[in-house]
Amino acid sequence: MSDSGLTLFLVDDDAAIRSSLSRSLRRRGYLVESFASASEFLRIASPELDGVLLLDYGMPGMNGLELQARLNDTGIRLPVIFITGHGGVPESVQAIKGGAVDFLEKPFHPEVLIDRIEIALTLATELRARREGRRETRARFGRLTLREMEIVSHMVANPSATSSKEVGAFLGISPRTVDHHRARILEKLQIRSVPELIALAGKTGTETG
């Protein structure tokens, strides 16, 4: 069992399956929250949600594939494992194209599910680390003044024109003033060079403009 502390979110309209599967997974030490429908799960879903989604395909109302598509469209990144007694090759292909870890047809061997859960939890841990990294980087960018952000935005948008003279000419300030701001920017962002700044902004998706 993974000791990541992440939650398994089980979405299945069959109460008996929710109960038995939740009980079995909790006995193995997993944290489990269960939901009777896609709409019920969507009430708690957010981009900050951490964990793995165990998702039935054949539910009334919004089915599993539709829920997966909704989550993708709204930027909610959760590794998904489909568990279903319905659906075939087209559905499984669509699920995998949508980013699912696997599409398991009932009945399946419990150890197969556990294996897929562990794979999905590893992916969820990586997603959480990237999200925390972006959050920490945004906090660093948040320390910059408006003028410093103007300088950062110009350098990121014009990586071939980042000298103090070029930046100063664009913003109507002296190169010496740009030098002063540049030193403060690098200090606040905890980096040492303009190339690092440009890479940091691009890699993390930080909005600079």
Tens digits of residue pLDDT in 102-112? 988 888 888 99
On the question of pLDDT at 56 being above 80, the answer is: yes
Domains along the chain?
7-135 (3.40.50.2300), 142-204 (1.10.10.10)
When pLDDT is cut at 50, 70 and 90, the band that residue 205 belongs to is low
The reply to whether the predicted model has a pTM over 0.85 is no
Report yes or no: 52 and 81 within 8 Å, Cβ to Cβ.
Answer: yes
Q: Is the pLDDT of residue 3 over 70?
A: no
Q: So what's the pLDDT on residue 164?
A: 93
- What does the pLDDT average to over 140-153? 93
Mean pLDDT on 167-185: 94
Q: φ and ψ at 114, to 5 degrees?
A: -60, -40
Per-residue pLDDT, averaged over 176-189, amounts to 95
In the predicted structure, residue 208 carries a pLDDT above the cut 60: no
Among the ranges given (1-15, 35-49, 147-161), the one the predictor scored with the smallest mean pLDDT: 1-15
Statement: residue 96 has pLDDT above 90? no
Is the confidence at residue 1, as pLDDT, over 60?
no
Q: Which residue has the higher pLDDT, 201 or 186?
A: 186
pLDDT of residue 12 exceeding 70, the answer is yes
**Does residue 191 surpass a pLDDT of 80?**
yes
What pLDDT, on the 0 to 100 scale, is given for residue 46?
92
Average pLDDT of the chain is: 89
pLDDT for 134 equals 85
Q: Mean per-residue pLDDT for 129-138?
A: 87
Average pLDDT over residues 122-130: 92
Position 185 confidence tier, pLDDT thresholds 50, 70, 90 = very high
